[in-house]
Structure 1
């Protein structure tokens, strides 16, 4: 696991991976900018409809506050969905540089398949977290229970997402990841996605890490 993590950081020095990282960060931030603009127009319309004084000022302030809240709640979903779009290119770059023998035999699923899998991933993470919402509320009163269950649920989902990327390319025999390594990979990514600034790099890092784990044999231990 540690070796795969170190290799994933090294992968960022690859020009192709670095360019993809910039694209993922730019598109992720772009999605939230668009959401922020949409919220501003929505708030402005509401305040205008209510004929409230200083509507533009309040709508701007409220839209900024809501944008931050949306970013906190949806960052993981948006970041991973965006990464799915570029997943094929990220895996190509890492495999070409470190594992050319597997790059030659892997079957690239393509953009359409990546988008379909991204949509399924988004639906899955929303559905599972909605189902876990009553448990989040109940455990909220324990102080730490909600955070623990939240990280566990999302670690399981993220680990599965990363495994799906490799299975789509190399099939279940070579692309699958055993439960414990997959959970640890998902947990590492989930925690990283909660850290400001670092969370911009995490989706590409854990995708590269999954590639290193599968091809180095760590995923089979």
Structure 2
């Protein structure tokens, strides 16, 4: 746990790095653009649907107002449920820049050995991660519904699921640049889960949720590099 806290603190400290600021700006802009486009599409679709099914007995102005209210409600629900998935999928395209900035500042030797992923691999990882997140969240939906009466139950289930997902994705981003050195993610599962839980918690905080994926990617890089260094040290000692 101490390693995770140290990694998060160091990651927060690098938010003033110009390279990280540029990536954060691009990532936040694209994420918000996706949700804005989704909101417009949702409103248009609802307005059309209401117009088709209720036009015969409801005034047009009522149709427009109903579509707007329903669109806002569904958009807010979608933002709460899907933000982590969309933000992480968007971050996949810019992750290399964040990881490179962290490695250049703190692990220059590792930065020299790193092999940035080609666009096709980034895209595949992004789609695979988003699909995994959607599938796991869908599988836990019945449990969330059953626990709704408890009040806190659904939030705990969502936190646990996203802690697992985020911990894996955020450390995979850094490890994959060094896959030739280590065939599997070297970060211990407990550390991955702790990192994922911390980032999932940050994503529940307004405004902080916009930077949470950036901080998580930087912290995941620190954990991955320390794990890789420890692994190399053990191999040298064994030799």
TM bin, normalised by shorter chain, reads over 0.9
Change (3 A) 1:109 1:26: same
After superposition, the Cα gap between the structure-2 partners of 1:218 and 1:110, relative to the gap in structure 1 and judged at 3 Å, is closer
Q: Is residue 101 of structure 2 the alignment partner of residue 93 of structure 1? A: yes
**Alpha carbons of structure 1 residues 140 and 40: separation in structure 2 relative to 1, 3 Å:** closer
Kindly provide the CA deviation profile for residues 90-134 of structure 1, in whole angstroms up to 9, marking residues without a partner as x: 111211122111010011112221111111111111111222222
Deviation per CA, 1:19-52: give whole Å up to 9, x if none.
Answer: 1000011001000100011011112212222313
Of 220, 224, 229, the residue aligned with 1:214 is 224
1:30 aligns with 2:40: no
Contact 1:155/1:189, CA 8 A, preserved across alignment? yes
Q: Secondary structure at the match of 1:25?
A: helix
Partner of 2:13: 10
How far apart, in 2, do the equivalents of 1:59 and 1:36 lie?
A: 11
Relative to structure 1, the CA distance from residue 179 to residue 208 in structure 2 (aligned partners, 3 Å threshold; closer, same or farther) is same
Question: In the TM superposition, what whole-angstrom CA distance separates every residue of 1:6-31 from its partner, at most 9, and x where no partner exists?
Answer: 11011111101101000011001000
- Structure 1 unaligned regions, length at least 5: none
Residues 214, 220 of structure 1: 8 Å contact kept? no
Of the structure 1 ranges 27-36 and 129-138, higher mean CA displacement relative to structure 2 is found in 129-138
SS for the counterpart of 1:141 is helix
Cross-structure match for 1:192: 202
TM-score (norm 1): 0.92
Distance of aligned partners of 1:41 and 1:165 in 2 relative to their CA distance in 1, 3 Å threshold:
same
Relative to 1, partners in 2 of residues 1:174 and 1:7: Cα closer, same or farther, differing over 3 Å? farther
Match of 1:46 in 2: 49
Superimposed CA distance per residue, residues 141-184 of structure 1 (whole angstroms, 9 cap, x where no aligned partner): 33433322221121111111112212311123685210111110
Which position in structure 1 is the counterpart of 2:187?
177
8 Å contact from structure 1 (residues 169, 175) kept in 2: no
Matching residue within 146, 152, 175 for 1:138 = 146
Larger radius of gyration: 2
- What is the 5 A alignment of 1:64-103? 64-103=72-111
Number of aligned residue pairs: give it: 221
Cα contact 2:171–2:220 (8 A) shared by 1: yes
Unpaired runs of at least 5, structure 2: 232-239
Query: d(CA) in 1 for partners of 2:16 and 2:67?
Result: 43
RMSD: 2.0
Q: Which residue number in structure 2 is paired with residue 202 of structure 1?
A: 212
Aligned residue in 1 for 2:113? 105
